[in-house]
A and B are shown apart, each in its own frame.
Chain A
Amino acid sequence: MEQPFAITLQVESSLANHTGSWRVERPQYVNLMPPCNNACPAGENVQKWLYTAEDGSYEEAWRALIVENPFPAIMGRVCYHPCQTVCSRGQLDEAVGINSVERFLGDLAIEKGWSIPVTAPSTGFKVLIIGAGPTGLSAAYHLRRMGHAVTIRDAADLAGGMMRFGIPKYRLPRNILNAEIARIEDMGVRFQMNHKVDNVQDAIDDGFDAVFLAVGAQIGKRAYIPAGEAARILDAVNVLHDVADGDAPLLGRKVVVYGGGNTAFDVARTAKRLGADEAMIVYRRTREKAPANDTEIQEAIEEGVLMKWLSTVKHADAGVLKIERMELDDKGYPQPTGEFEELEADSLVLALGQEVDLSLINNMADVEVRDGVVHVDPNMMTGRAGIFAGGDMVPAERTVTTGVGHGKKAARNIDAWLRKEKFEKDPNPKVVEYSDLNPWYYSDAPHAVRPRLEGARRASNFDEVVQGLDESTALYEARRCMSCGNCFECDNCFGVCPDNAVIKLGPGKGFEFNLDYCKGCGICVSECPSGSIIMIPEKS
């Protein structure tokens, strides 16, 4: 075709015009810290495994999850999910049900029998872990994945620690617990049960290169309560332990539990299940001030557990308690009022917190103890080189998830120490704020509620209270994730660029900016739903 000079042009000849030279700022893809990941005591990359689950790649998602935490099925039941408290979605409609998706993945893994191969070559190092609770198991798991030989010693006959002896089975069925522990055992971790370690030094002498102390805090705190001889006063930890052993104590028709923590509520709910007509929580402060998780409180109320807030037990006698009413002062502390009442109670269970049994380090002067817990440095090592400690033994929030996180952190530090290195955690990227997001692009999708047994029905047995999601609802929940601070390939940047300067690399590969043409307008940044693009000044 003969074309007239200048008037007719060849198509796309403008590619010769590199408009990128106009730019004063350039866009850049970033991976920021989503609030959920930031809040997770176990350091789970929540956004990543939700993202992976969104397309039904459940095994891949599960494997992404267990990089940080070996107990998705347990977590999905007992974790108090601080991730959901901070979830950005909560500001749009309701937080993503992260915990329920985690449970779905965990249960699926058990159902499918997914195992965890140890692919790291053997390091030749031997590590002893004392305590088979969540902290010790987590440390064992991570150390084993790194190629170390791991032995766990625990005084009990079964592994699990507080997960077995503190958490009632209506919250954590034992088949689930056993399955996730068995998976760790299958990795080659050696369990030496019924093996109480009285002296750490002896254990070291057995030829271990490093030791991790994770015996937890299992001794119920005693408070002095004037009591008649016939008063029946029990310790919450022991009650739960005995129930777990199948040796339920006699609590009577009316049970009062003294305390406001999760353990108190576990005991009260357990008492109902053991046949008590009445289980009552007595706590000196208000519901808002109670340390127990709100879900626990809510579920207990649904099950008919009674609450007596702002009350202290002044005296216990057979069948009756003397209670003083408290009131909060200006600073929010409870103060006695001098007003008393009597309360019928066949037994009083004390749930006032737990203490650490420190006998195993009694003879180790260089392992420092402060305020009843072991002092560790930022690398979780005690004053004795090669001896690390974590979980409830050290200053920490005493939850399963925190313990799991400690186990992971300890494992990384033990690994580094064994290699004569120092573990350096990569600095966390900026935590995403809601204002970094463009929520317009997320459609309205309320939280999928996990089905629960009716309160009246469930309180009479130890069946699991909270049921799991089926696949479709789990998928729905996963897809509610806003992927804060991380690209989820929504193609917005690729679409909204007026200069066609975003290159789509294909599924799973993300995008690149074509800086030859990007004029730096910033629409991609404004319209990125997840805040995963930032503008940075162009070097002059």
Chain B
Amino acid sequence: MSTTPVKFYQVGSFAVGNRLLPAAAGSVQSDMERTNALTSGHRACQGCGEALGARYAMDAAMRAANDQVIAVNATGCLEVFSTPYPESSWRIAWLHSLFGNAPAVATGVAAALRAKGRTEVRVIGQGGDGATVDIGFGPLSGMFERNDDVLYICYDNEAYMNTGVQRSGATPAAARTATTQAVGPEPGNVFGQGKNVPRIAMAHEIPYVATATVADLRDLEAKVARAMEFRGARYLHVLVPCPLGWGSQSCDTVKIARLATQSGLFPVFEAERGEVVSSTPIRQRVQVEEYLKLQGRYSHLFSPKRRDDVIDKLQAAADRNIKRYNLLPEEEGDL
């Protein structure tokens, strides 16, 4: 006789929802009553990954915190497209101060809440990679080091998009930006630079650090929910493709994020108190080329002359991630 498992919910194994599952088991985004923390009418570009990621994360946080959330936002696309006078797209308590201080402002909010005994209200700081990796890094590290009760979420689109796509400390090697142009013998961003903030966050030994993408909603939501179970400093690094800056089609935002994970270029994992506790295995491995070729910022790797040397280096980086984070557990030792 067949030994097929009985509980199998095909319709949504990896989708946002599943009509067969009880509502409580569904994703936050499948809930008709979800917060829509970032609602319609915002001015993000078509297919904006950050708009998607922010709603995903904030709605999940709202569910986890029983709607008791205050958000602090760094300057950047997310801030500009959500709150140009006279219209705000937020449906939650939200504060924007500066580009480089969101973690510290969030610390202040948390301190005030603690002073007032309102610890049921949870604080989330958020910003893009520029705000997080670069200009706001000092306050971020300070917030981590003090273990302030803040979940900080970085929406990483790998460059300064709001100012016109300039290189940040999160810009990957070989990528074209307005300040790492696709000219000269080594076009695009140089190799051997950049900052891995999730690992730096882990080095602070804060309670929780995780990475996620807009391609895996369930994973992202689970990580927000897990993060909200902790008190103290927590960090979530979410990859959010940017059609404008990456030169990709607006419809491919989720697909590109998926390829980033399935190629190994963006490892999805979580860590507690400085130790990696889990990684999300690659389901359908692809070569980095599958990821690169959808993006104009890498087009110089394919034309006018194919740069296998560069592609190979990027593949090596992906392979290293796969090994380092055990992203292909069934092929362990096979790399």
Asked if A and B form a direct contact in the complex, defined as CB atoms under 8 angstroms apart, the reply is: yes
Q: B13–A442 contact, CB under 8 A?
A: yes
A449 to B39, CA, bound (A): 47
A493 nearest CB neighbor, chain B only: B16
Known: A22-B46, A521-B250. A491 touches B88 (CB 8 A): no
Contact B2 A449 (CB under 8 A): yes
| Given known contacts A9-B86, A472-B6, A480-B10, A499 and B42 CB-to-CB distance under 8 angstroms | yes
CB distance from B46 to the nearest CB of A (A): 4
Taking the complex as formed, is B200 at the interface, i.e. its CB lies under 8 A from any CB of chain A?
A: no
Contact between chains at B17 and A517 (CB < 8 Å): no
Stretch at the interface among A124-132, A150-158, A246-254, A522-530: A522-530
Q: Does A501 contact B (CB under 8 A)?
A: yes
B interface majority secondary structure: loop
A55 within 8 A of B: yes
Asked if A494 CB lies within 8 Å of chain B CBs, one says yes
Out of A6, A476, A488, A527, name the residue touching B254 (CB < 8 Å): A527
Within 8 A of A (CB), among B1-42: 1-2, 4-6, 8-20, 26-27, 29-30, 32, 36, 38-42
- Between B16, B18, B26, B92, the greatest number of chain A beta carbons within 10 A of the residue's beta carbon is seen for B16
**CA of A147 to CA of B139, assembled, Å:** 79
Q: Which residues of chain A are within 8 angstroms of B17 by Cβ–Cβ distance? A: 489-492, 494-495
Is A504 engaged at the interface, CB distance under 8 Å to the other chain? yes
Cβ–Cβ contact B4 & A525, under 8 A = no
Minimum C-beta distance from A54 to chain B (A): 6
Provide the residues of chain A in CB contact with B2, threshold 8 Å: 448-451, 469, 473
Residues of B within 8 A of A506 (CB): 32
Q: Any chain A CB within 8 A of the CB of B48?
A: yes
Question: Chain B nearest CB: distance from A326 CB in Å?
Answer: 41
Known A479-B10, A490-B11; contact A514-B250, beta-carbon cutoff 8 A: no
Given A12-B39, A15-B39, A19-B43, do A490 and B15 touch, yes or no (CB 8 Å)? Answer: yes
B-facing residues in A496-540 (Cβ within 8 Å): 496-501, 504, 506-507, 514, 516-517, 519-523, 525-527, 529, 535
Q: Complex: how many Å from CA A469 to CA B3?
A: 12
Cβ < 8 Å to B, chain A residues 381-402 = none
Chain A, interface size: which category? 35 or more
Q: Which one, A473, A498, A500, A501, contacts B49 given CB within 8 A?
A: A498
In Å, the complex CA distance between A521 and B6 comes to: 38
Q: In B259-297, which residues have CB < 8 Å from any A CB?
A: 283-284
Looking at the assembled complex, report how far the CB atom of B110 sits from the nearest CB atom of chain A, in whole angstroms: 21
A517 CA / B56 CA spacing, docked (Å): 18
Are A490 and B32 neighbours in the complex by a CB distance under 8 Å? no
**A445 near B: Cβ within 8 Å?**
yes
Q: Which residues of A contact B177 (CB under 8 A)?
A: none
Residues in B whose Cβ lies below 8 Å from that of A230: none
> In residues 52-98 of chain B, which contact A (Cβ within 8 Å)?
52, 55-56, 82-83, 85-92
Q: Are B284 and A440 in contact (CB under 8 A)?
A: yes
Q: Number of B residues contacting the other chain (C-beta, 8 Å)?
A: 61
Pair A500/B43 contact, Cβ less than 8 Å: no
Contact assessment for A443 and B42 in the assembled complex, using a CB-CB cutoff below 8 Å: no
Does B301 lie at the interface of the complex (its beta carbon under 8 Å from any beta carbon of A)?
A: no
Contact yes or no, B36 A500, CB < 8 A: yes
Does A295 have its Cβ within 8 Å of any Cβ on chain B? no
Instruction: List, in ascending order, chain B residues with CB within 8 A of A488's CB.
Output: 11, 19
Please name all residues of chain A whose beta carbon is closer than 8 Å to the beta carbon of B19 when the two chains form the complex.
55, 488-490, 507
| Residue A119, interface by CB 8 Å | no
A13 within 8 A of B: yes
A491 touches B12 (CB 8 A): yes
**Minimal beta-carbon separation of B29 from chain A (angstroms):** 4
> Given A12-B89, A494-B17, are A54 and B41 neighbors across the interface (CB < 8 Å)?
no
Whether B16 and A476, one on each chain, are in contact in the complex, defined by CB atoms closer than 8 angstroms, is no
Q: How far is the CB of B131 from chain A (nearest CB, A)?
A: 20
Task: Verify if B311 is at the interface (C-beta below 8 Å from A).
Answer: no
Residues B46 and A495 in contact, CB atoms below 8 Å apart: no
Is the Cβ of A445 less than 8 Å from the Cβ of B8? yes
Contact of B39 with A500 in the complex, beta carbons under 8 Å = yes
User: When chains A and B are docked, how far (Å) is the Cα of A496 from the Cα of B46?
Assistant: 12
Provide the bound-state CA to CA distance between A7 and B15, in Å: 39
Q: Does B258 contact A (CB under 8 A)?
A: yes
Q: Indicate if A14 sits at the interface (CB-CB under 8 A).
A: yes
State the CA gap A6–B96 with chains docked (Å): 13
In the assembled complex, the Cα of A84 lies from the Cα of B113 at a distance in Å of 61
- Cα separation A495 to B216 with both chains bound (whole Å): 11
Q: Contact between A55 and B20 (Cβ–Cβ < 8 Å)?
A: yes
A365 interface hit (Cβ, 8 Å): no
**Cβ-neighbour of B41 out of A15, A442, A472, A479 (below 8 A):** A15
Tell me the bound Cα distance from A17 to B84 in angstroms: 11
CA distance A54 to B13 in the complex (A): 14
Contact B5 A476 (CB under 8 A): yes
Q: Are A9 and B42 in contact (CB under 8 A)?
A: no
**Residue from B18, B26, B40, B83 having most chain A Cβ neighbours under 10 A:** B40
Contacts of A483 in B (CB 8 A): 11
Contact B30 A491 (CB under 8 A): yes
Q: Which residues of chain A have C-beta atoms less than 8 A from B9's C-beta? A: 479
Residue of A at shortest CB range from B284? A440
Q: Which of A7, A499, A507 has the most CB of B within 10 A?
A: A499
The answer to whether B55 and A500 touch across the interface, beta carbons within 8 angstroms, is yes
A311-327 interface mask toward B, CB cutoff 8 Å, 1 = contact, 0 = none? 00000000000000000
Q: Which of A19, A441, A472, A517 is close to B13, meaning CB atoms less than 8 Å apart? A: A441
B44 partner residues in chain A, CB cutoff 8 A? 498-499
B87 touches A521 (CB 8 A): no
Inter-chain contact A494/B30, CB cutoff 8 Å:
yes
Point out the residues of chain A lying under 8 angstroms from B56, CB to CB: 495
Contact between A490 and B251, CB atoms less than 8 A apart? no
Q: How far is the CA of A522 from the CA of B91 in the complex (A)?
A: 25
- Which A residues lie within 8 Å of B29 (CB)? 491, 494-495
Instruction: Write the A7-25 contact mask toward B (1 if CB under 8 angstroms, else 0).
Output: 1011111111111001000
Bound: A43/B40 CA distance, A: 43
Which residues does chain A contribute within 8 Å of B85, judged by CB atoms? 6-7, 9
Listed by A's residue number, 12 A-B pairs whose Cβ atoms lie within 8 Å are A13-B87, A14-B89, A441-B13, A479-B9, A491-B17, A492-B16, A495-B17, A496-B16, A496-B52, A498-B49, A526-B255, A527-B255
Residues of B within 8 A of A (CB): 1-2, 4-6, 8-20, 26-27, 29-30, 32, 36, 38-44, 46-49, 51-52, 55-56, 82-83, 85-92, 217, 243, 249-255, 258, 283-284
Task: Return the 9 tightest CB-CB contacts between A and B, nearest first.
Answer: A491-B17, A495-B16, A522-B251, A14-B41, A443-B13, A521-B47, A490-B15, A517-B40, A9-B88
A-side residues, CB < 8 A to B, are 6-7, 9-19, 22, 54-55, 440-443, 445, 448-451, 469, 472-473, 475-476, 479-483, 488-492, 494-501, 504, 506-507, 514, 516-517, 519-523, 525-527, 529, 535
Q: A499-B51, A514-B40 are in contact. List 10 more A-B contacts (CB 8 A).
A: A6-B86, A13-B86, A17-B43, A475-B8, A495-B27, A498-B47, A498-B48, A500-B40, A501-B40, A521-B48
